[in-house]
């Protein structure tokens, strides 16, 4: 294989740094100590490149600025935001990235922790038909790779490397943020936007090359608790209230067709993330997702009504429910006339590298979902990962490298006074 590009080398090195977040320890930010290690790793790279105003705070937020090219000093600052954490749904430590040449057919990438072969197939990833001859970055099968979102992190840092090596390349002042706990819905809530100083920008946390997102789900999290009454099973008649069974009854009242595995496109869903408990106490944690906020509100009410119904059946206040909004649909902000340049400039930058932009209704959210409503409008660009949140995740090297070219074209557009 030929010498590795700057972005590929950075990506592999970042993937080797374990930095999963943890949805069960959200009382602290970051939710895991490992994210501090990733934050320091990226900060050292920024320092080596000569970035300005580098700050690593106690919550593992990394922020920095990059000065404008000559003639663009008075233009608005453009921001980029990526997240440092990786998904919690699969093994994420230790990570052993590898670069493999895809020659067609089913690709074996290694074995999982139980010794079973792990493969990536064109049947589940038809995009592979267009990647014959590509180098792909994968894990060895024992963990996820972490392309979500370390590919995005590597792209931004590699862009800065290119701007340092080629100071004549046009660009406005850039504000850079690498943030923790995106995978558990933190949403960059602690990013100081005044100090960050960007007028608008982009998250880089999307899928295949050319993918662009200005629509996301609206999101809420729901916690249902059950308090039962335990007595000896031999004398339980008319006395026992089984908390775990009460939760099972509740779950059965939610429409099964509205689960993630049966939905696509603009379909919303209820997702049971976890359930635990026994006769005396049980808890179920859900997320609600829908692109239409009115439908989210209907889903919330359906769950409240289900709680009331089960309590009525049991003639006792066994179930309680708490509901919290997490983020809202990006489209409400990005489609405002003053922000439409984020869409059109992305389209032009993709075209500059010969790639047609494809707008998708993202079936999830990004840090931008919250940041946009806090006054930093930011749409979402490709990070070029496939099969995120699992051991079959992969990133095509040509796409990884092409996105650095796209970012170069994008910042050049914002160096024009007409932007």
Q: Which residues are marked as active site?
A: 85, 182
Residue at token pair 């970042």:
14
Q: Rounded to an integer, what distance in angstroms lies between the CA atom of residue 380 and that of residue 366?
A: 8
Reference 271, options 288, 283, 254, 256; nearest CA is 288
Q: Which strand (E) or helix (H) includes residue 136?
A: strand 135-138
Orientation of helix 34-49 relative to helix 6-15, angle to 10°: 160
Q: Rounded to an integer, what distance in angstroms lies between the CA atom of residue 401 and that of residue 67?
A: 23
User: Strands across the sheet with 135-138, in order?
Assistant: 98-101, 135-138, 394-396
What Å distances lie between residue 17 and 81, 235, 291, 335, CA to CA?
A: 19, 55, 34, 37
CA trace torsion 372, 373, 374, 378 (10° rounding) = 0
Q: H-type helices in 240-394, by residue range?
A: 243-252, 293-314, 331-334, 341-352, 367-371
Q: Rounded to an integer, what distance in angstroms lies between the CA atom of residue 254 and that of residue 269?
A: 10
> Across the strands, what pairs with 283?
225, 276
Q: Compute how many other C-beta atoms are within 10 angstroms of the C-beta atom of residue 65.
A: 21
10: left (phi over 0), alpha (psi -120 to 50) or beta: alpha
CB 180 within 8 A of CB 186: yes
Long-range pairs for 4-8: beta carbons < 8 A, 24 or more residues apart = 4/99, 5/158, 5/397, 5/401, 6/158, 6/161, 6/162, 7/154, 7/155, 7/158, 7/400, 7/401, 7/403, 7/404, 8/99, 8/137, 8/154, 8/397, 8/400, 8/401
Q: What would you measure as the largest C-alpha separation in the chain, in angstroms?
A: 84
């Amino acid at each position: 294989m030929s010498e590795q590009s700057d972005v590929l080398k950075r990506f592999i090195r970042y993937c080797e740094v374990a930095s999963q977040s943890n949805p069960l320890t959200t009382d602290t930010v970051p939710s895991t100590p490992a994210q501090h290690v990733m934050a320091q790793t990226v900060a050292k790279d920024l320092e080596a490149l000569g970035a300005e105003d580098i700050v690593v705070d106690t919550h593992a937020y990394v922020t920095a600025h990059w000065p404008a090219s000559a003639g663009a000093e008075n233009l608005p600052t453009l921001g980029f935001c990526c997240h440092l954490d990786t998904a919690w749904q699969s093994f994420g430590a230790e990570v052993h990235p590898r670069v493999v040449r895809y020659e067609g057919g089913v690709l074996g990438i290694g074995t999982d922790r139980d010794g079973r072969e792990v493969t990536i197939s064109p049947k589940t990833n038809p995009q592979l038909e267009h990647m014959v001859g590509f180098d792909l970055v994968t894990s060895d099968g024992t963990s996820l790779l972490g392309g979500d979102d370390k590919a995005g992190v590597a792209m931004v840092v590699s862009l800065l490397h290119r701007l340092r090596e080629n100071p004549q390349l046009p660009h406005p002042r850039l504000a850079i943020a690498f943030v923790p706990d995106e995978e558990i819905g933190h949403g960059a809530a602690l990013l100081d936007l005044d100090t960050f100083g960007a007028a608008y920008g982009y998250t880089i946390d999307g899928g295949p090359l050319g993918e662009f997102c200005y629509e996301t789900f609206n999101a809420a999290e729901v916690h249902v608790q059950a308090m039962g009454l335990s007595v000896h099973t031999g004398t339980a008649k008319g006395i026992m209230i089984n908390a775990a069974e009460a939760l099972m009854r509740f779950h059965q009242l939610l429409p099964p067709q509205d689960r993630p595995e049966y939905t696509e496109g603009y379909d919303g869903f209820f997702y049971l993330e976890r359930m635990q408990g026994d006769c005396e106490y049980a808890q179920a944690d859900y997320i609600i997702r829908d692109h239409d906020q009115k439908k989210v509100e209907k889903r919330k009410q359906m769950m409240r009504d289900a709680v009331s119904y089960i309590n009525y059946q049991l003639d006792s206040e066994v179930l309680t429910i708490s509901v919290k909004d997490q983020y809202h649909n990006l489209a409400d902000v990005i489609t405002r006339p003053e922000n439409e340049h984020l869409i059109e400039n992305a389209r032009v930058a993709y075209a500059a590298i010969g790639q047609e932009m494809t707008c998708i209704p993202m079936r999830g959210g990004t840090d931008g979902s919250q940041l946009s409503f806090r006054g930093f409008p930011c749409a979402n660009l490709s990070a070029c990962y496939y099969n995120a949140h699992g051991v079959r995740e992969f990133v095509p090297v040509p796409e990884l490298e092409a996105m650095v070219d796209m970012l170069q074209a994008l910042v050049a557009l914002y160096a024009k006074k007409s932007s």
